[in-house]
Structure 1
Amino acid sequence: MTDHALDLAALREATDRFLGAAAAMDDLAAAAPSRLPGWSRRHVLAHLSRNADALVNVLQGRPMYADSETRERDIERDATRPLSEHLADLRGSAARFEAAAAVPADWSRTVTMRNGVTDSASRVPFRRRIEVELHHVDLGVGYELEDLPDEFVTREIDFLTERFAGHPDVPSTGVAADDGRFWTTGGDAEGGPVVVRGTAPELLGWLAGRRDGSALKTEGGPLPALPPL
């Protein structure tokens, strides 16, 4: 069972790490490209702030975003700001999310995410942590997939293999970490079954679209192409 209280504590630690990395930049560094195509580091900062507010909406029973166009427009608008404003916004939006999560509530209730996806409210803090941890890597400032806490890596692989399970565009796939951990994912697409082997961080990088999978080994067929997240 998901423990939202533990996830909130882990989220605070991840947020502190992210804020420390962001505060170590200057305006020139913040304007440099991130590892996400078409996004500067300031875009990443803007997205994280607006994502926190969007998840407040989720916890309070409102639509996560008004629509996809508003989401993209708000990121582009906020990405032009100086670093000092980004830092203030990151701290303020994180505080708003924490305050919303502190309100007594039924954490077993079903909430609606973006694009009509539903989930348990108890998983919202972990979903926020995913955003913070992976986008910290996306900044390209020295925090790598290999630096992510091992328990986070395991849970995020759990999360992503569950997400792709039964997907018609992904063949039946075994995901095998070098340390013996094993997951299954995929569906009825042609080409399976395939087993993909590698270190847990490399597997996470492939599943999350952060690495091309060239460091992984496959058995039974080529490396499956995964749909975008």
Structure 2
Amino acid sequence: MIDHVHDLDAVREATERLLSATGKLDNAAVAEPSRLPGWSRGHVLAHLSRNADALVNVLQGRPMYASSETRDADIDRDAPRPLAEQLADLRGSGDGFLAAAGAPADWSRTITMRNGVTDSASRVPFRRWVEIELHHVDLGIGYELEDLPEEFVIRENDFLAERFAGHSAVPPTTAVTADGSLWTTGGGADAGPVVVRGSATDILGWLCGRRDGSGLTAEGGPLPVLPPL
């Protein structure tokens, strides 16, 4: 069962790690490319701030974004800001999310995310945690997938495996670690079954599109090419 209170604590901790790390940058570093194609580090930070605002909208029953075009325009607008403005916005928007998520609410209710995706309100804090952790890695400033909390890695693998379950482009796939952790996904493609072996971190890198899968081995067929998130 999802524990949104626990996840909000994790969001606080992850936010502080991110703010501490980005606080060591300078304006020139913020303008440099991130690991996400076409995005500077400023784009990543702006996205994280606007995502916090968007999740407040979700929790309060409003559309996550006015439109995809507005979302993209807001990120482009905010990306060139100097570091001090980025940090102030990241902290302020993050505090706003924590305040909204800390209000009494029916956490069993269904909420609507971007593109009409629905979920339980109780999973919104975890979704914010995912944004912070993975985009911290995307900044390319020394925080890697291996630095992610173990609990986060396992739960995000659970989440992504569920997301790709039954996908028409993904063969039946089982990902297994040496210690016996196991995730099943895919099943919609006429191929396989495929068994993927590697560390939980490398499996996460493959599932979330941050790594090419070179640290994994595949049996029964090639390593499945996953659709973009």
Normalization by structure 1: what TM-score?
0.99
Structure 1 match to 2:166: 166
AA of the residue aligned to 2:62: R
CA distance in 2, matches of 1:198, 1:43: 32
Q: Which SS does the other structure have where 2:187 is aligned?
A: strand
Structure 1 match to 2:70: 70
1:143 shift after superposition: 0.5
CA distance in 1, matches of 2:216, 2:175: 10
CA distance in 2, matches of 1:9, 1:149: 13
Structure 2 match to 1:198: 198
Deviations 1:102-155 (A, max 9, x none): 111000000000110000000000000000000000011111000100000000
**Counterparts of residues 134-153 of structure 1 (less than 5 Å):** 134-153=134-153
1:177 shift after superposition: 1.6
Structure 2 match to 1:37: 37
CA distance in 1, matches of 2:15, 2:179: 28
Structure 2 match to 1:16: 16
Q: Which runs of 4+ in 1 moved over 2 A?
A: none
Structure 1 match to 2:120: 120
Q: Which SS does the other structure have where 1:71 is aligned?
A: helix
CA distance in 2, matches of 1:178, 1:118: 34
Q: Which SS does the other structure have where 1:81 is aligned?
A: coil
Which segments of 5 or more consecutive residues in structure 1 lack a partner in the other structure? none
**Counterparts of residues 177-216 of structure 1 (less than 5 Å):** 177-216=177-216
Identity score, percent: 73
Structure 1 match to 2:25: 25
1:64 shift after superposition: 0.4
AA of the residue aligned to 1:136: H
CA distance in 2, matches of 1:147, 1:58: 29
AA of the residue aligned to 2:177: A
Q: Which SS does the other structure have where 2:33 is aligned?
A: coil
CA contact (8 A) 1:194 1:221 kept: yes
1:202 shift after superposition: 0.5
Deviations 1:45-81 (A, max 9, x none): 0000000000000000000011111111000000011
1:211 shift after superposition: 0.2
Aligned: 1:227 with 2:227? yes
1:175 shift after superposition: 0.9
AA of the residue aligned to 1:223: L
Q: Which SS does the other structure have where 1:169 is aligned?
A: coil
1:226 shift after superposition: 0.4
AA of the residue aligned to 2:28: L
CA distance in 1, matches of 2:168, 2:104: 39
1:188 shift after superposition: 2.1
RMSD between superposed Cα atoms in Å: 0.6
AA of the residue aligned to 1:14: A
CA contact (8 A) 1:162 1:185 kept: yes
CA contact (8 A) 1:4 1:125 kept: yes
| Number of equivalences | 229
CA contact (8 A) 1:178 1:200 kept: no
CA distance in 2, matches of 1:166, 1:191: 13
